[in-house]
Amino acid sequence: MSATAKKRAPMPDDIRAAKGGTPLVSLTAYTTPMAQMMDAHCDFVLVGDSVGMVLHGLPSTLGVTMEMMIMHGQAVARGLSTAMMVIDMPFGSYEESPEQAFRNAARLMAETHAGAVKLEGGVAMAETIAFLVRRGIPVMAHIGLTPQSINTLGGYKVQGRGAQRNALVADATAVAEAGAFSVVLEKVPQNLADQITADIPIPTIGIGASAGCDGQILVVDDMLGLFTAFKAKFVKRYAELGQGAEDAIAAYAAEVRERSFPGDEHVFADEVKK
Ligand code: KIV
């Protein structure tokens, strides 16, 4: 799919049909201005539950709520016109039963106008994915490192190495067969990502996976250098905006303290000059 040729936002079927073509481009977004900046360049934008760590200072994504997702989803929707919006289902909003997942997915879509939801899990979530898809909710799956499960995965480790390999292939196959229109592969070995991409009929979206995936996604604050608490190996920083922002704030603080800001050009005279 070519971002420059877009006239309308793609639908999940367009994303599915992009399998094997020009790689799909996506980033996360949480605010209107950031969504506006990426709209022309991305095929889809994910309102990720990474918002909890990136913007709210939470230690993981586990504390993210439906209300947070809806608020950020509405903000992102205001900034998009030609990229599709996908929204994450937060931890605890879908795992209990397909019915619980439907209620919360329907609420996310109705209140944010997202084109699809994303949820974490493979074989274990296949029944839920099929239930949602049969009821009109397009689902992007997310397998490999699934950050909502860090407590059972034992941290942010690479997934699918050695004996885990077949289980990850089974996850990918299960979500594709359940009707997901694409699947995020996070932090898996490159050759496994390539194998899954070749084996399943839906687009794979890599993050810490392989350039051979059908698309790529990054957390926008990571790639802009705005989130500096840590940097995963799979993140490429395309800018260092965090350092730029801190330098600007330090310059402002110094100028306020030495009374060189505001300058004459920033203040108002008592009378307007004729
Ligand atoms: O929440 C998130 O940002 C994600 C990604 C795939 C980056 O799920």
Q: Which ligand 1 atom is nearest residue 120's CA?
A: 8
Residue nearest to atom 5 of ligand 1 (CA): 48
pLDDT at residue 140 above 70? yes
153 exposed, middle or buried (CB, 10 Å; 0-12, 13-18, 19+)?
A: middle
Residues ≥6 apart with Cβ < 8 Å to 200: 172, 173, 176, 183
Active-site residue, selected from the candidate residues 67, 111, 127, 186: 186
pLDDT at residue 274 above 80? no
Q: With beta carbons less than 8 A apart as the criterion, state whether 185 and 141 touch.
A: no
How does pLDDT run across 242-269, given as a tens digit for each residue? 999 999 999 999 999 999 999 999 999 9
Q: What is the pLDDT of residue 231?
A: 86
Separation between Cα atoms, residue 129 and residue 38, nearest integer Å: 28
Look over the chain and give the mean of its residue pLDDT values, rounded to a whole number. 96
Which tokens hold the place of 218?
């990054």
pLDDT at residue 4 above 60? no
Taking residues 71-78, what's their average pLDDT?
98
Whether the CB of 48 sits within 6 Å of ligand 1: yes
- Is 186 noted as a catalytic residue in this protein? yes
Q: CA-based angle 234:237:239, to the nearest 5?
A: 170
Is residue 226 very low, low, confident or very high in pLDDT (cuts 50, 70, 90)? very high
Q: Domains plus CATH for the chain?
A: 12-239 (3.20.20.60)
Least confident of 3-12, 80-89, 151-160, 184-193: 3-12
Distances (CA, A) of 223 to 27, 88, 131, 240: 9, 20, 35, 8
Q: With beta carbons less than 8 A apart as the criterion, state whether 89 and 64 touch.
A: no
Whether the CB of 146 sits within 6 Å of ligand 1: no
